[in-house]
Each structure stands twice: as C-alpha cells, then as structure tokens.
C-alpha cells in the first residue's frame, strides 16, 4: 500500500487523492445574490449535513489563487442563500453554471433554469429542483494559511424546505424518485444504484 505525506506533494495531487477517494459526493446547486442584485448560481460537491437540530448544512467553497468566489462573498455579505439538490433531470443545466463569469453576470442566464421566489429569504431559488432549502448564514470560517486562506467554510441554517410532493411519502423522501446525482472525480457523475439495508446494532 502507498503511504503518502500530503505536505510532500502538490496541492493538485492532494486534490486528486481527495476527490478520487471521497466518493460519491452529494452536489449542492447554490443560488446567492450580489449586492448589485445579480442572481448567482453555482454547483459545489464539498457539501453535507451538519446538524438536524437545528437543521444545518455545510459548504466548503474553494478559493482560486486566494480569490474568494462570488458565491462565498455573496453569502457572507447578504447572509442568505438557497441550496438545491442536483438530480438526473437538472444536472446538465446546472453543469452550465460552473462556467467562470464576472460578478456582474448571472450564470442562471446561461441555462433554462427558472428563478422562483423564496418564502423566508430574499434570494430566489430555481423551480427545476425537486428539493430546495432556503438558508441563512450561521457561520463562515476562512481556512488554510492565515495570510492566504484557501477555502471559505459556510455553515447554513435551513429556514424553509421545498420538496416536490411526488417524492414525499409519509414523512420520508423517496431516493429513487429524487434521482439525486453525485460527483466522482474528473467529469464523472454517479446515479443512485442498488439500494440495500443493514440493521444497526442495538
């Protein structure tokens, strides 16, 4: 077995080890709003649950050459954002929003996604997602070197869920109906495959 010290290899090599090992990763499509009122949209696969009481999620938004991404800056300034679950039906449109655009242009305009008003926050979501979560900023932390942070860790509190009725059954979400896709390495994605159960020990 290979034994590798991450401090002895490049950032790119560490990135490859992580994204190739920690799979599959759920994908959050995040909408945020700039101070000028531009609706930003971008997908992130460094995304997960933090807590259910209260309901909170995390996003780790990597910086490029030390520069904060529009999504992180917008969330930190406005303290609101919407997280959507990426599924088989919307993944191709959402992939278009990964394009690098200047802050005064909206990625949503590159797509056929339809903005929809939120209930408790000012940032719109998109109606093509089967699940979306209106979030407020709970915490933001700069991580990495003190003089040159490499990532903005965002903790968001979910203040409103929107769930398509067809996939909601007796308080649970049907995983096959949701059809969430996950991120692998490179340009690869994965669908929900075989589902199996294992009883937890008492």
Which residues have CB under 8 Å from 155's CB, separation 6+?
Answer: 50, 56, 57, 58, 137, 138, 139, 140, 141
Does residue 147 lie in a domain region? yes
Tell me the per-residue pLDDT of 48-74, one tens digit each, with 9 for 90 and over: 999 999 999 999 999 988 899 999 999
What is the mean pLDDT of the segment spanning 90-114?
A: 93
Does residue 18 lie in a domain region? no
Evaluate whether 26 touches 45 at the Cβ level (below 8 Å).
yes
Residue 121 clears pLDDT 90, i.e. is over it: yes
pLDDT band at 11 (very low <50, low <70, confident <90, very high): confident
Question: Distance between CA atoms of 103 and 38, rounded to whole angstroms?
Answer: 8
Does residue 13 lie in a domain region? no
> What CATH number is given to the structural domain containing 130?
2.30.110.10
Tell me which residue range forms the domain holding 37.
27-184
What is the mean pLDDT of the segment spanning 21-28?
A: 96
Does residue 21 lie in a domain region? no
Residue 172 clears pLDDT 80, i.e. is over it: yes
Does residue 114 lie in a domain region? yes
The total of structural domains in the chain comes to 1
The pLDDT of residue 17 is 95
Residue 171 clears pLDDT 80, i.e. is over it: yes
Q: Cα 45 vs. chain centroid, distance in angstroms?
A: 6
Evaluate whether 41 touches 113 at the Cβ level (below 8 Å).
yes
pLDDT band at 146 (very low <50, low <70, confident <90, very high): confident
Taking each continuous run of H as one helix and of E as one strand, the counts in the chain are 4, 14
CA angle 131–31–53, rounded 5-degree value? 55
The pLDDT of residue 118 is 98
């Amino acid at each position: 077995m290979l034994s590798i010290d991450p401090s002895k290899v490049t950032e790119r090599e560490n990135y490859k080890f992580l994204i190739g090992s920690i799979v599959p990763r759920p994908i959050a499509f995040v909408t945020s709003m700039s101070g000028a009122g531009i609706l930003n949209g971008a997908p992130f696969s460094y995304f997960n649950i933090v807590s259910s009481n209260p309901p909170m999620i995390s996003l780790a938004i990597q910086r490029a050459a030390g520069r904060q991404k529009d999504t992180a800056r917008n969330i930190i300034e406005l303290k609101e954002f919407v997280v959507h679950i990426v599924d088989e039906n919307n993944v191709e449109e959402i992939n278009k929003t990964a394009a690098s655009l200047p802050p005064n242009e909206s990625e949503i305009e590159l797509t056929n996604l339809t903005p929809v008003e939120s209930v408790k926050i000012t940032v719109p979501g998109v109606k093509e997602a089967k699940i979306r979560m209106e979030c407020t900023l709970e915490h933001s932390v700069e991580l990495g070197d003190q003089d040159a942070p490499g990532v903005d860790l965002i903790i968001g509190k979910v203040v409103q869920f929107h769930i398509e009725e067809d996939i909601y059954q007796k308080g649970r979400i049907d995983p096959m109906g949701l059809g969430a896709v996950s991120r692998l390495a490179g340009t690869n994605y994965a669908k929900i495959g075989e589902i199996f159960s294992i009883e937890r020990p008492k």
